[in-house]
Amino acid sequence: MSAETTSQSPQDLLVMDLSMGAEDWTPTPHGQCLAEVLAENNLVEGKTVLELGAGTGNHTILLARQGAKHIVATEITQELVETTEVNVKRNVPEASMEYRVADWLATDGSFDVVVTNPPFCKSGKQNRRYYIDSLILDAHKRLNANGTLIFVQSSMADLAKTLERLNENGYEARAIGERRGPFRDYYFEDEQFMKESASVVGGFDVVEGVHYETLSVIAATLRDYTPPAGAHIPDELRA
């Protein structure tokens, strides 16, 4: 059974009781931005949702309260997804949920909506945008026709590049909300990150010695597409 749709205000939707351990990802301004923008825009009522890297469940709970029909929440380890589960069960016990250990998009099923706050600064990949680019290239495999991909990213990850790549890969994409805020302290500790960010046009700005990034929540909806006859796709694999 899905959670009852509430008429709670965006502020009320964000009030939740979260517990977490030392290994869990403590919500940051990125997560807060995504939560606030999701709360202001109900994009999930009556829809099936795949949430990648659900962490403390800070977005999972909100999506359930907004009346998502069914949510699959993933994390990279069993311990991490147990934190999601404990928090969701405490805050929205009636939610229709499944919890999975999965490496990013390597999971089954197709959904109306895919939501995530992807690793970026600390992605640990040579291409720091790896998780963002992976979404752009492969989230369509987890989306139903005309499904929507929703994620948050920093201006330091190059918003123009993201919107261009989404367009190239068959999405109508737009930023549905933005928040501007000062750098986290750990940004300055990663010289390579600072160097990469300085090469992004509009990556950040500095006012009176304070560095600011802009966080954007992007909603991208798959356009209709039929591969042309003769494309190298076996008939049985054509969706």
Ligand X SMILES: C[S@@+](CC[C@H](N)C(=O)[O-])C[C@H]1O[C@@H](n2cnc3c(N)ncnc32)[C@H](O)[C@@H]1O
Q: Which residues bind ligand X (CB under 6 A)?
A: 25, 27, 31, 52-56, 58-59, 74-76, 80, 103-104, 117, 119
Nearer to ligand X, 1 or 22 (CB): 22
Nearer to ligand X, 60 or 148 (CB): 60
C-beta of 159: minimal distance to ligand X in Å?
17
Query: CA-to-CA distance for 35 and 226, rounded, in angstroms?
Result: 34
For the chain, the helix, strand and coil percentages under 3-state DSSP, each to the nearest 5: 35, 25, 40
Q: Point out the residue whose Cβ comes nearest to ligand X.
A: 53
Q: Which helix (H) or strand (E) holds 61?
A: helix 58-65
Paired tokens of 213: 């990034």
Nearer to ligand X, 55 or 203 (CB): 55
C-beta of 30: minimal distance to ligand X in Å?
6
How does strand 205-207 pair with strand 210-222? Answer: antiparallel
Q: Which amino acid is at 194?
A: M
Cβ atoms of 208 and 141 closer than 8 Å: no
C-beta of 189: minimal distance to ligand X in Å?
17
Nearer to ligand X, 54 or 220 (CB): 54
C-beta of 234: minimal distance to ligand X in Å?
29
